[in-house]
């Protein structure tokens, strides 16, 4: 039997999603240990998107195979009992063997949160990046518009990114201000390593007035990461939703 699960986590105290040979604390490690106790056998999980150290997940999706028979409620409650407080299973759904958390996904959505005020925050210190310079969200939105569509995002990916192609399709990129927070929402068919954080870094530079609005397009056209600006810190980044074909019947994070 193949099961899909919706996962939520605060990534502040984890060395990213992925299980690591060094044994450092990862979200995958915690979930596999908890599921193994419920299933009574070792479990290997596959995720929709591997997040970096300090990055959070509101709408992460995983799948795993098991011969164990448990109720769906039993899987959720049993797994959560064995997880630390900063990781949680929101839902579980039986899926066909054709489903894959990563390869079946049609799009992914991320949110980047910037606390934009003169003083730092005790509450948001690990959940947003603090920028004390005033940001102009209107300029940031104007700059974001040139990144929507299908492009070669070589300038916006990590130098060590191992993706075979740098071409991605961004379907939505919106910048809004909510009181003292500037929020970047982005949806694409898939993302390159550090792509969202590099986009956020460019938009923040433009928002501070250090570069013109046109710079986001100029960076894109360079197709050279060394000319792509600063990578924004990880703590403001959230994986918020993953979409799949309707045939799998999975809930979106926004509907849970």
Q: Any idea which residues carry the catalytic annotation?
A: 52
Half-sphere exposure of 230 (CA within 13 A, CB side): 10
Conformation bin of residue 249: beta by default, left when phi > 0, alpha when psi is -120 to 50: left
Q: φ and ψ at 68, to 5 degrees?
A: -70, 140
Annotation: binding site for substrate: 110
Largest distance between two CA atoms of the chain: 58
CB atoms inside a 10 Å sphere around CB 222: 13
Of 133, 138, 205, 201, the residue nearest 174 (C-alpha): 138
């Amino acid at each position: 039997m193949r099961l899909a699960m919706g996962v939520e986590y605060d990534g502040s105290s984890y060395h990213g999603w992925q299980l690591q040979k060094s044994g450092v604390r990862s979200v995958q490690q915690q979930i596999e240990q908890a599921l193994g106790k419920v299933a009574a056998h070792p479990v290997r999980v596959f995720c929709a998107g591997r997040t970096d150290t300090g990055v959070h997940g509101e709408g992460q999706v995983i799948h795993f195979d098991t011969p164990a028979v448990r109720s769906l409620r039993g899987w959720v409650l049993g797994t959560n009992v064995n997880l630390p407080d900063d990781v949680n299973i929101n839902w579980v759904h039986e899926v066909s063997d054709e489903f894959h958390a990563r390869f079946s996904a049609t799009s992914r959505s991320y949110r980047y949160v910037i606390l934009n005020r003169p003083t730092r925050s005790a509450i948001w210190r690990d959940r947003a990046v603090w920028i004390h310079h005033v940001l102009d969200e209107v300029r940031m939105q104007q700059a974001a518009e040139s990144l929507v569509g299908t492009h070669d995002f070589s300038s916006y990916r990590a130098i060590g990114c191992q993706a075979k192609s740098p071409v991605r399709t961004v379907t939505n990129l919106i910048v809004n201000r909510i009181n003292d927070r500037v929020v970047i929402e982005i949806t694409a068919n898939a993302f390159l390593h550090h792509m969202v954080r590099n986009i956020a870094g460019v938009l923040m530079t433009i928002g501070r007035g250090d570069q013109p609005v046109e710079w986001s397009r100029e960076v894109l056209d360079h197709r050279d990461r060394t000319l792509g600006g600063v990578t924004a810190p990880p703590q403001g980044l959230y994986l918020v939703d993953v979409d799949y074909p309707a045939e799998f019947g999975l809930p979106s994070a926004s509907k849970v």
